[in-house]
Amino acid sequence: MDANGFELTHTSKTRRGGFLQGCLIVTAVILAIIVGISVFVAYNWRGWVATGVKESTAAILADSSLSQSDKDQITAKVETLASDFESGKLTMMQIGKIAEALVASPILPAAIVSAVEKEYFPKAEFSADEAAAAQRVLQRCARGISEGKINQDRVREILAPIAEVANADQIRLKPATDVSKEQVRRFVDNALAAANDSSVPDEPFAVDFVKEFNELIDRAIADSSAKAP
């Protein structure tokens, strides 16, 4: 579920087809934490959850395309979170704040468009100049979504050439093998129109996922601690 209130999934014909893998690794890590903490175990439940979070994160990272340095940094941060939760230093309220901070951050939209670029751009047979221009278009869209200028309905319109609607709240992206060059190009044209209509500046918009991940966790914890009675 993204900040616009709907779920984006991907159908793939390959084992590594997790569309959000790699670029959305930080999202998967947060979701692993949230899912783990939602389960109550009668005996030593904090320890059980902490172990589950660490194991889930390790499995996700092992199959991601992140650099080893990024993997190490995320692993270290998650292990600290898990240990603090197990010891009682980190509360469930603080975990909730971390989840809220993730949804409000630019991580999700930036990661989604980055992954779309990697997955679908090769199908479009862009020239070098066209690829650079299309990349800028998607960066503008990520910014527009992050800042609330591009809403859910417009995102559906943007993705229409490369996706199908699974239900009212879910958009399922087609496998890249099932998408034509023309469909990818229409997708980029849709994105450009949305960015222009929403007055998103034509300038680079890049997100350092690991840096943003670490900082949003630190801010969320500090904020919840300051508000605690």
Q: Is residue 5 part of a domain?
A: no
Tens of pLDDT along the chain (229 residues) come to 444 444 555 554 443 333 343 334 444 454 554 444 444 443 445 565 566 566 666 665 665 556 788 778 878 887 887 788 778 887 777 877 777 777 777 877 877 777 788 889 999 999 999 999 999 999 999 999 888 899 888 988 998 999 886 665 667 888 889 999 999 999 999 999 999 999 999 999 987 878 887 888 888 778 766 555 5
What does the pLDDT read at residue 23?
A: 38
Task: Check if the beta carbon of residue 111 is closer than 8 Å to that of residue 27.
Answer: yes
Structure tokens at 194: 């949305």
Task: Check if the beta carbon of residue 49 is closer than 8 Å to that of residue 90.
Answer: no
122 and 60 part of one domain:
no
Q: Is residue 154 part of a domain?
A: yes
3-class DSSP state of 172 = strand
What does the pLDDT read at residue 8?
A: 54
20 and 100 part of one domain:
yes
| Structural domain total, the chain | 2
Q: Whole-angstrom Cα distance, residue 162 to residue 180?
A: 9
What does the pLDDT read at residue 37?
A: 43
Which domain range does residue 219 map to? 14-105+208-227
90 and 173 part of one domain:
no
What does the pLDDT read at residue 149?
A: 93
What does the pLDDT read at residue 146?
A: 86
Q: Cα separations (Å) of 220 from 26, 53, 69, 168? A: 15, 19, 24, 31
- Tokens 């309220």 correspond to 93
Phi, psi of 167 (to 5 degrees): -160, -170
What does the pLDDT read at residue 71?
A: 78
Q: Is residue 3 part of a domain?
A: no
Beta-strand pair 163-167/7-10: unpaired
What does the pLDDT read at residue 69?
A: 87
What does the pLDDT read at residue 165?
A: 67
pTM to 2 decimal places: 0.66
